[in-house]
């Protein structure tokens, strides 16, 4: 294969609209990533309900509205378009106040922030791994 053919094979999926089916590894990584987004979203919803620090609460709300929800929608639509079944996930958590819950029975603000930071880091790792192992350019 010469250089021109290599470049052409990279950009071909964007030019002619013809795409090969998802490779099983691509489907797996997208499915796994979608499941991770959903679980992180549930943790963020619980965190939003339990944190006391208003700045942290605003950051969690921003994470839910501007990062996790759009990512979930994009990956979900892509999986549906590729006819990949969606993972079964836990239901969304209602917004409420848990001020009556004793302090030692719930996570502290620091624990919630650390848990969400870890989940975001793991999401980046999973996403990058899927990116580097994808065969189709549009999947990457």
Calpha distance 123→137 (Å, rounded): 20
pLDDT confidence band for 17 (50 / 70 / 90) = low
Tokens of 84: 């990949």
Domain boundaries, the chain: 21-133
Mean pLDDT on 40-65: 92
Q: Quote the pLDDT of residue 16.
A: 58
Query: Looking at the domain 21-133, which fold is it?
Result: Ferritin (1.20.1260)
Q: Percent of the chain beyond pLDDT 70?
A: 86
């Amino acid at each position: 294969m010469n250089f021109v053919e290599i470049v052409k094979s990279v950009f071909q999926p964007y030019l002619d609209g013809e795409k090969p089916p998802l490779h099983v590894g691509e489907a797996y990584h997208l499915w796994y990533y979608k499941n991770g987004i959903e679980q992180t979203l549930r943790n963020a919803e619980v965190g939003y309900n339990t944190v006391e620090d208003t700045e942290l609460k605003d950051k969690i709300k921003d994470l839910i509205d501007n990062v996790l929800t759009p990512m979930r929608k994009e990956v979900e639509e892509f999986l549906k378009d590729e006819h990949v079944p969606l993972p079964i996930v836990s239901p969304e958590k209602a917004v409420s106040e848990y001020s009556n819950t004793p302090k030692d029975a719930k996570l502290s603000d620091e624990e919630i922030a650390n848990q969400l930071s870890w989940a975001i880091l793991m999401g980046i790792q999973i996403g990058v791994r899927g990116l580097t192992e994808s065969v189709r350019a549009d999947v990457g």
